[in-house]
Amino acid sequence: MLAIYVGLSILRRFLHPESPISTKPAEGKASKLAKRVIACLDVRANDKGDLVVTKGDQYDVREKTDENEVRNLGKPVELSGQYYEDGADEVSFLNITGFRDFPLGDLPMLKVLRFASENVFVPLTVGGGIRDFTDANGRHYTSLEVASEYFRSGADKISIGSDAVYAAEEYLRTGVKSGTSSLEQISKVYGNQVYILDVFATDVFIF
């Protein structure tokens, strides 16, 4: 129960900085919990091709209207700046259509990172489609090349989902590190502090 009280208190403090933090303390023990508020923005193209922040159940982000439009909660660069001004410790973009297409060809998402990094001075994380790819011309790109382009565009960290699961399954099956998984390729060059494993999705993470 203590974790619930502390979590609610952290959210209340984030929304209302002037209010004191109140928890139900354990007997004679000071809390050692620290809060980190990470704003997580699901980003995808709307019907006009513009990137917008959206939210849906199992990626079903189409409004139930005759036009069947993507839910538009705002522009990702503007919203990331607002979260930064409101005190978020980190902003995470999840390109929820990035796993379907070639991410290095997703110039709008790269522009979002570049523009956001000019005004948001907390760590920026991006996820979606960070894995090995072969383009329509037959050229192969490694997950390291994909991650490197995100880093050059302003990301501080990258989020890996499915590829991390595949790497874990392969290791459990063979007991051998291949050295070719996304995690190994990227950590060898950038260090293991630059990626997170995206094992669940929500609007706001607190660490």
Q: What is the CATH number of the domain that holds 172?
A: 3.20.20.70
Per mean pLDDT, which of 50-54, 58-62, 203-207 is the most reliable? 50-54
Domain assignment of residue 15, yes or no: no
Domain assignment of residue 74, yes or no: yes
Alpha carbon 63 to chain centroid, angstroms: 23
The whole-angstrom separation of Cα 140 and Cα 48 is 30
The whole-angstrom separation of Cα 36 and Cα 13 is 12
Residue-range definition of the domain harbouring residue 164: 34-59+67-206
Domain assignment of residue 22, yes or no: no
Query: Are the CB atoms for 96 and 131 separated by under 8 Å?
Result: no
Nearest to 130 by CA among 153, 47, 178: 153
**Tokens at residue 24, please?**
């139900």
Q: According to the model, what pLDDT value does residue 198 have?
A: 62
Q: According to the model, what pLDDT value does residue 141 have?
A: 85
pLDDT of residue 171 exceeding 50 = yes
Q: According to the model, what pLDDT value does residue 161 have?
A: 81
Domain assignment of residue 128, yes or no: yes
Domain assignment of residue 25, yes or no: no
pTM of the entire structure? 0.73
Domain assignment of residue 151, yes or no: yes
pLDDT of residue 26 exceeding 60 = no
Domain assignment of residue 6, yes or no: no
Count of the separate structural domains present in the chain: 1
* Residues with Cβ within 8 Å of residue 207, at least 6 apart in sequence: 36, 38
Domain assignment of residue 17, yes or no: no
Please write the tens of the pLDDT for every residue from 92-122: 998 877 555 566 666 688 889 999 999 999 9
